[in-house]
A and B are shown apart, each in its own frame.
Chain A
Amino acid sequence: MNNLIKFCFALFVLCVSAAASAQVNIEINTPGVSALKQSMQTRHAQLAEFYANGAVGLTSDGMVALRDANTVPLAARQKVNGLVAAENQDRKSLYAEIARANAHPEWEGDIRNTFAQRWIQRAQAGWWVQSGGGWSKK
């Protein structure tokens, strides 16, 4: 009986350690990840000026948002809208693709959170980032 308990305990420890060692590779590269990153990189050249003037900010859930359109000429606001929508679509696809490439689609939420922190950490000084529901200038 003791042996059975020891065996069960050992099995439990093994499962826990196996689960703990399962780590997500957020740097994983697949054609999907590559296509999405390429698309986002191309768009970044257009979005950069709107990050810098505060029109667009980085949200705490790993997306971008139009936070103050007043800094953008009226005729360009629709374009910023389009850029934000396309960027968010790519970001959502990227998180899903990385989770799927790691063979754990259910990790999408955690990957999104990790990226959210990363984007905000790597944001340039002067960009607007969201934390605790409010916006602050980095």
Chain B
Amino acid sequence: MFNKTIIYTINRLLNGCLFGLLSFCPLFLSAPLYAVQITLNVADVAAPSFAARGIKVILAQEGSAEFSIDELHMAEKIWRKVHVHCSEFLLSSARVTCHKGKLDAIPDLPFTFSYEFASQRLELRLTAEANELWQVNADFRAQPWRATVLLRNAQGKRLASLLPPNGPLPTQGALNGTLVVHGDKAGVSQINADLRLTDLAVADMSGLHAAEKLQGTLHVDAARTGQTWSWRGALDWQGGELFWQPLYLRGGHTLRASGQWDNTQLKVTQAVVNLPGVGKVEMQALWDVKKSNLLEGRLVGENLSLANGFADYAKPFLEKSALSATELKGFVDVDWHYRDGATQALLIKLRDVAVVDGEKRFALHGINADIPWHAQVQSMAHVAFADGELMGLPLGATQWQIQMRGNNFILPTATLPILDGKLEVNDFYLHNINDTWQWNFSSTLTSISMQKLSTALHWPEMHGSLSGSIPKVSYQDKLLKVDGTLLFRVFDGTVLANHLELFDPFGRAPRLSGNLDMRELDLDLLTRTFSFGNIQGRIDLGVNNLELVNWLPVRFDAKLASSPGKYRKKISQKAVENISSLGGAGGVAALQRSFLRIFENFGYERIGLSCALHNDICTMSGVEENGNAYTIVKGGGIPAITVMGYNRKVDWSELITRLKRVLQDNKAVIK
């Protein structure tokens, strides 16, 4: 009986394997006959997609068997030191069976195996606690041959060793369902899978691709004709959460898809995805399997909700952009065509969309747009919005027609209402060079009320207007440049701003530089606006090399002087006191101090003060130099007063603190 069995086994091995080196060492041990044991050593066994080295089989007389394999290669995986124990092993000419089998790698999953040689039927059952079952039934004699895998409460973590170690691996959860595979001589010809996932958890080493408590069903039917597979699938993701860097999604998605696959290309002829809270998206794709890239793609969605759509699927990719804190509302139709490594067309329709920046830097409401963009064909976009806000400035309703061709966008004329004025834009040109967007335009700013502007920007209320002609505004590499001069009419005088540059306008510390030239500002209006104590007269103020960081001055050369011409020159006792208190103890002194308490107002001849700010130190001088001191207010008329400064170097932060205190105190007095 033994001899017959062993010879048969050798034949099976030689028939079934392309290569094998078998050494047969029946060892009749020195023990008595009832303890006989047979050891088979098989050096190598190899076949397509299967190889084993160092196989050793020990058959004990009481019916058990031990199998050990030094190295097992199967389906591109390698297992080392594989050890199988069969408590009841039977090998006959009719069948081979292993009852109460145990694999060292999965000791908690005992198995039963049987294979009938004549009928070529295989059965493998692995069972464990909690009603867990992995069962394989195969009939290799049937035409086509068929194998069925039945899973019942099958623990997903057992698949971890079969999956690529760098990808997400299952750690928890169960699978239920069936997998039916048919095949012929050419291999697998048909696959039908019906699986239910319960509380499945997967994670990769970094945690950047992970899912927890996944619930859902997966149904796949695939059939091969020649080299091409036709497939159809349905995924119903009912619950759980998924983080797939940078996306975080919750259950509620469904996918129905069908297509073909032929080893080189995966074609999705039709796919419909239901995105919860967003809408239905239809897709088609052609994927190059070997190069792992998209050859062709199309995505169509109608009436998609932007509130969830943007937050869930777009914003996570915009963390480093100015849109990272943006919220969108409204609805969009989208039709995207992709081919030859680039987007060929993107047709977008926006309906009642709102874009709001979380940091309140910009907002647009009531946007309706039709943007039929094509890479190669010129087209026209129509964009309209109801109102908006930019850096605190209210914007009014407008509509634009934008010419589009590839990455070039031209807006010949446009109007942007700002408060009670408007910015007339000409030749707005937006284009992309080396993956960097840049734009420029020329414009005219028609009169904006300074009263409205100062209220909108939460400044002290000012009167006058702001207007200007701007030959060119350009934006490139985070730098906004204004070529030309902005004209403000404030405090009954003029302010000219030129060489303005704003770097990183939406960054944490925007930097503004430029020059200001102010002429004939009415000091009466100015001092009343800023509650400084009254001064009557007119001043010119030049501020060159101005640099503001985060809207605070870090550098400038400023020079303030009484304007030329004849006008009333008076300074109030309060203003003198305030100027004195700005200088700190001993910093400024009003000469003829004894008169202070007698008169409300004093005459003066000239006012002058200059400050060169550098490294937070203001280096000061006045209208006249008097040794170490300098004259800020030179007295004139009756009663006159002269105010002197003694500190040449003044700490700018300290000066601002004092100024704020003065303005605050004066406000309190007014109340």
Contacts and interface: CB of A to CB of B under 8 A. Distances in A.
Interface in A72-117: 72, 74-75, 77-78, 81-82, 85-86, 89-90, 93, 97, 101
Given A29-B616, A31-B550, A74 B212 contact: yes
B241 A75 contact: yes
A81 B246 contact: yes
Contacts of B248: 74-75, 77-78
A66 interface: yes
A85 to B, nearest CB: 4
B316 interface: yes
Given A69-B210, A82-B324, A77 B319 contact: no
A78 B316 contact: yes
Given A31-B552, A31-B554, A89 B241 contact: no
Nearest to A71: B207
- What does DSSP make chain A's interface, helix, strand, loop or mixed? helix
Interface stretch (A3-11, A16-24, A32-40): A32-40
Contacts of B511: 32
B324 A74 contact: no
B509 A81 contact: no
Contacts of B243: 69, 74, 77-78
Interface string B184-211: 0000000000000000000101111011
Contact of A31 (B210, B211, B504, B509): B509
Contacts of A90: 508
B207 A78 contact: no
A49 interface: no
Nearest to A101: B554
Contact of A72 (B207, B320, B508, B548): B207
B206 A69 contact: yes
A85 B319 CA distance: 6
Contacts, number: 85
A49 B470 CA distance: 50
Nearest to B240: A74
Contacts of B241: 74-75
A30 B552 CA distance: 9
Given A78-B243, A81-B245, A81-B316, A66 B208 contact: yes
B507 interface: yes
A70 interface: yes
B4 to A, nearest CB: 57
Nearest to B210: A74
Contacts of B316: 78, 81
Interface string B549-563: 111111000000000
A118 to B, nearest CB: 20
A68 interface: yes
Contacts of A97: 509, 549
A10 B207 CA distance: 61
Given A30-B549, A68-B207, A74-B212, A93 B616 contact: no
Nearest to A34: B550
Interface residues of A, number: 29
Contacts of A39: 508
A30 B246 contact: no
Interface string B301-327: 000000000000000100110001000
Contacts of A77: 207-208, 210, 243, 245, 248
Listed residue (B210, B319, B509, B551) with the most chain A CB atoms within 10 angstroms of its CB: B509
Given A31-B552, A31-B554, A70 B324 contact: no
Contact of B508 (A70, A75, A93): A93
B242 interface: yes
B215 to A, nearest CB: 15
Interface string B528-551: 000000000000000000001111
B616 to A, nearest CB: 7
A97 B510 CA distance: 11
A101 B551 CA distance: 16
Contact of B509 (A32, A66, A75): A32
A81 to B, nearest CB: 5
Interface in B210-232: 210-212
Given A81-B316, A82-B324, A32 B208 contact: no
A93 B445 CA distance: 33
Contacts of B242: 74
A93 B478 CA distance: 13
B549 A32 contact: yes
Listed residue (B212, B507, B508, B616) with the most chain A CB atoms within 10 angstroms of its CB: B508
A82 B509 CA distance: 19
Given A77-B248, A78-B248, A97-B509, A85 B324 contact: yes
Contacts of B616: 29-30
Contacts of B509: 31-33, 35-36, 93, 97
What are the 9 tightest A-B residue pairs by CB atom distance, in nearest-first order? A69-B207, A70-B207, A31-B552, A32-B509, A32-B549, A85-B319, A35-B550, A78-B248, A31-B549
28 contacts: A30-B554, A31-B550, A31-B551, A31-B553, A32-B511, A32-B550, A33-B509, A36-B508, A39-B508, A68-B206, A69-B208, A70-B207, A74-B210, A74-B211, A74-B212, A74-B241, A75-B241, A77-B208, A77-B243, A77-B248, A78-B243, A81-B245, A81-B246, A81-B316, A82-B324, A86-B319, A89-B320, A93-B507
Given A32-B554, A35-B550, 10 more contacts: A29-B616, A30-B549, A36-B508, A66-B206, A70-B205, A70-B207, A70-B210, A74-B243, A77-B207, A86-B319
Interface of B: 203, 205-208, 210-212, 241-243, 245-248, 316, 319-320, 324, 504, 507-509, 511, 548-554, 616
